Amino acid sequence: MLKSRRRRFRSLIIAFAAVVMAGASALFFTAQTASAHGTATSPPARQYSCWDRWGGDHMNPDMATEDPMCYQAFQANPNTMWSWMSLLREGMAGQHEQLIPDGQLCSGGNADYASLDEPGNWHTTSLDNDFTLHYEDQATHGADYYWVYVTRQGYDATTDALDWGDLERVVETGVYQPGEAVDIPVSAPGRTGHHVVYVIWQASHFDQTFYSCSDVWFGGDQPDDPPTTPDDPPTTPDDPPADGECTATYTVANDWGSGFTAEVEVASTGGSGSWEVNWTWPGDQQITNSWSSALDQSGSSVTATGASYNDTLASGQSTTFGFNATYGGSNAAPDLTCTIG
């Protein structure tokens, strides 16, 4: 009888250990898969735009006056920006209009991202009426389809939360394979001023749907752009930009102990042409995926070049790329070198 009890006790211990290990594995899997999905990065979705411009300086009080819409989003839930790639709903079965109420389109009806539904003076990206939308599928899910909408002329993004009736669907794509670059030609004629580009991404791996609102400006100067005057001398071929002058600024946006998300801002300070950033990891960091760049890691050495839509910079221009990486010891920052030309 004593032996029988011991056997039962050992069986219970083994079963309990198996449950704990399974739970830990599930937690690890969830943490890893939730950290990388995707969104529109050109023109940038609201959450990506706020993270891209303020993620490395999100405690700056100037955000309240310089960028009040991003400020209210950071105040409401900073994870809206840190998890810019994870704005999704599951089990929608294509019933987007039926399941997402008017006024909640930018959040996709996801309460964690409700601050994105607020109307106001969101930062806009200047575009021609014919443009290319780049969607970053950083988890290489692939797509059953992308649907791209643009607001109708007369819609006021500063005062009116987005409704389905405000939108015109202008693009319906077919299937994108996992790892295939997503650059979608879009035409939105007859529009001027502040508009919203709304994107629905139906991932192909299972029924996950991603939603994003990108604020754009069609035609002419934006209201916060300083007017040009005859006092501004035109640039001429007699004043060629210097070659090979650029900077690369490295920022860790999020660190969860065994991995991290980082971004690098590349700025031309006088040169023009294709850019390249190089560094050597001081620790055992290993890049797992990236966006807005082409990264090549060999041992501890990394070379970054631009994607198809941001590989060249003119003097004074800048761009940002990012990546996720793992590490085991310390997560010391590398020294970066930047060349352009």
* Residue 105 resides in a domain: yes
- State which amino acid sits at residue 102: D
Comparison of pLDDT for 11 and 290, the residue scoring more = 290
Same domain as 189, residue 71: yes
Q: Is the pLDDT of residue 28 over 80?
A: no
How high is the mean pLDDT of the chain? 83
* Residue 97 resides in a domain: yes
Q: Two tokens at 22? A: 């399974």
Domain count, the chain: 2
* Residue 159 resides in a domain: yes
Q: How many beta carbons lie within 10 A of that of residue 251, not counting itself?
A: 15
Same domain as 185, residue 46: yes
**216-265 pLDDT per residue, tens:** 999 876 765 444 333 444 444 344 434 458 999 999 887 878 888 888 98
Same domain as 212, residue 83: yes
* Residue 297 resides in a domain: yes
* Residue 279 resides in a domain: yes
Same domain as 286, residue 323: yes
Same domain as 202, residue 166: yes
> How far from chain centre, in Å, is Cα 146?
16
Q: Worst-scoring range by mean pLDDT, 97-106, 161-170, 220-229, 325-334? A: 220-229
Q: Is the pLDDT of residue 21 over 80?
A: no
The residue segments making up the domain with residue 68 are 37-218
Q: Is the pLDDT of residue 34 over 50?
A: no
* Residue ranges with strand state E in 27-174: 38-42, 88-90, 125-127, 130-137, 143-151, 167-172
CATH for 313 = 2.60.40.290
Q: Which of 202, 218, 234 is the last residue of a domain?
A: 218
**258-288 pLDDT per residue, tens:** 888 888 989 888 878 898 999 999 989 999 8
**69-93 pLDDT per residue, tens:** 999 999 999 999 988 998 999 999 9
CATH for 177 = 2.70.50.50
CB 289 within 8 A of CB 137: no
Q: Is the pLDDT of residue 314 over 50?
A: yes
Q: Which of 175, 199, 218 is the last residue of a domain?
A: 218
* Residue 227 resides in a domain: no
Same domain as 212, residue 258: no
Mean pLDDT score, 23-27: 37
CB 287 within 8 A of CB 303: no
Mean pLDDT score, 59-70: 93
CB 209 within 8 A of CB 203: yes
Same domain as 211, residue 82: yes
Same domain as 101, residue 159: yes
Same domain as 84, residue 43: yes
Same domain as 253, residue 167: no
**196-208 pLDDT per residue, tens:** 999 999 998 778 9
Same domain as 135, residue 254: no
Query: What per-residue confidence (pLDDT) applies to 330?
Result: 87
Kindly report whether the global pTM for this prediction surpasses the value 0.85: no
Same domain as 269, residue 145: no
Which SS3 state, helix, strand or coil, does residue 24 take?
helix
* Residue 284 resides in a domain: yes
* Residue 22 resides in a domain: no
Comparison of pLDDT for 217 and 36, the residue scoring more = 217
CB 80 within 8 A of CB 47: yes
Query: What's the CA gap between 44 and 291, in Å, rounded?
Result: 13
